[in-house]
Amino acid sequence: MNCEFVIFEKDANVGILTINRPKALNALNIQLMEEIDATLDLVAADENVRALIITGAGKGFIAGADIATMKPMNYEKGKAYGVQGSALFRKIELMDIPIIAAVNGYALGGGNELMLSCDIVIASEKAKFGQPEIGLGVTPGFGGTQRLPRIVGVRIAKELIYSGRIFGAIEAEKIGLVNKVVPSEELMDTAKAMAQNFAKMAPIAMKYAKKAINEGIQTDIENAVKIENEYFGKCFSTKDQEEGMGAFLEKRKVLFKNQ
């Protein structure tokens, strides 16, 4: 697919997906969401991509869903737009590889929601976050009412969603919305170093660890532990488990083959 608003590059085993619609601060219109979707399909089909970074071009990460696109919508169109965005963000969440959001600037509304569906968030000191939808007359629509409380807790999520206020990276780190805040010039190097480290790990165990966390967090502890038992057991059907443990015991460098 020829993308107008998405740039995809590879740096060794790390994929870098850059949202590139800087004139609108990377606001998510339908075409842009389709291009992200198609790029994720390419990433999923490429077994050499072992970790993915999502970032934004210019001064925005993503300033939300596209307000000009949404303004004329009725109930059916608004709901369908929400379904499209939610399906895309669920697809991000369900990708087998770890995904790092490198938040360079505004992550508002749908931008904050996209980030919530990633595994890890590294933020520049200049990043700004928020769910301002209520001030536009709508609720968050791409998963914000669901993932934000799961990540930062119900009380903080309610205050942020009810006020719609925009806040900075230090507060985002304090409430557990982001993993780490770095100077803006160090953002991509920090994200790449972390992604390269993830990319060296056993890919099947990485996939199972991600699934165990994501599936287990949605259920009670009895079932959650059973989910972990299952994925842990499945690791012992992989060659990479033999290799990882063999390399340790033989005191040699490990070489995972994704098998």
Catalytic residues: 113, 133
Burial tier of 47 (Cβ tally within 10 Å: 0-12, 13-18, 19+): exposed
Q: Which residue is nearest to ligand CAA (CB)?
A: 109
Does the protein bind ligand CAA through residue 113 (CB under 6 A)? Answer: yes
Does the protein bind ligand CAA through residue 106 (CB under 6 A)? Answer: yes
Of 113, 69, 62, the closest CA to residue 92 belongs to 113
- Interface residue with ligand CAA among 32, 39, 52, 66 (CB under 6 A) is 66
Of 227, 195, 192, the closest CA to residue 208 belongs to 227
Closer CB to ligand CAA, 85 or 98, in the complex: 85
- Interface residue with ligand CAA among 14, 16, 17, 25 (CB under 6 A) is 25
Give least dist CB 111 to ligand CAA, A.
7
- Interface residue with ligand CAA among 108, 121, 123, 194 (CB under 6 A) is 108
Does the protein bind ligand CAA through residue 85 (CB under 6 A)? Answer: yes
Task: List CB contacts of 55: < 8 A, sequence separation 6 or more.
Answer: 16, 17, 18, 19, 61, 101, 102, 103, 104, 187, 188, 191
Task: List CB contacts of 204: < 8 A, sequence separation 6 or more.
Answer: 235, 238, 240, 258, 259
Does the protein bind ligand CAA through residue 140 (CB under 6 A)? Answer: yes
Token output for 176: 């557990």
CA–CA separation, 164 vs 76, rounded Å? 25
Does the protein bind ligand CAA through residue 56 (CB under 6 A)? Answer: no
SS3 126: coil
Give least dist CB 136 to ligand CAA, A.
6
Give least dist CB 133 to ligand CAA, A.
5
Give the strand pairing for 167-168 and 128-130: antiparallel
Which range touches ligand CAA (CB under 6 A), out of 130-138, 178-186, 206-214, 227-235? Answer: 130-138
CA–CA separation, 47 vs 205, rounded Å? 14
108's enclosing H/E stretch is strand 106-108
- Interface residue with ligand CAA among 3, 7, 67, 201 (CB under 6 A) is 67
b/e burial code for range 77-96 (CB count within 10 A of at least 16 → b):
eeeebbebbbebbeebbebe
Give least dist CB 110 to ligand CAA, A.
4
Which range touches ligand CAA (CB under 6 A), out of 43-51, 89-97, 103-111, 199-207? Answer: 103-111
Closer CB to ligand CAA, 24 or 92, in the complex: 24
- Interface residue with ligand CAA among 53, 141, 199, 204 (CB under 6 A) is 141
CA–CA separation, 52 vs 198, rounded Å? 10
Closer CB to ligand CAA, 25 or 178, in the complex: 25
Tell me which residues touch ligand CAA (CB under 6 A): 24-25, 27, 63-68, 85, 106, 108-110, 113, 132-133, 136, 140-142, 144
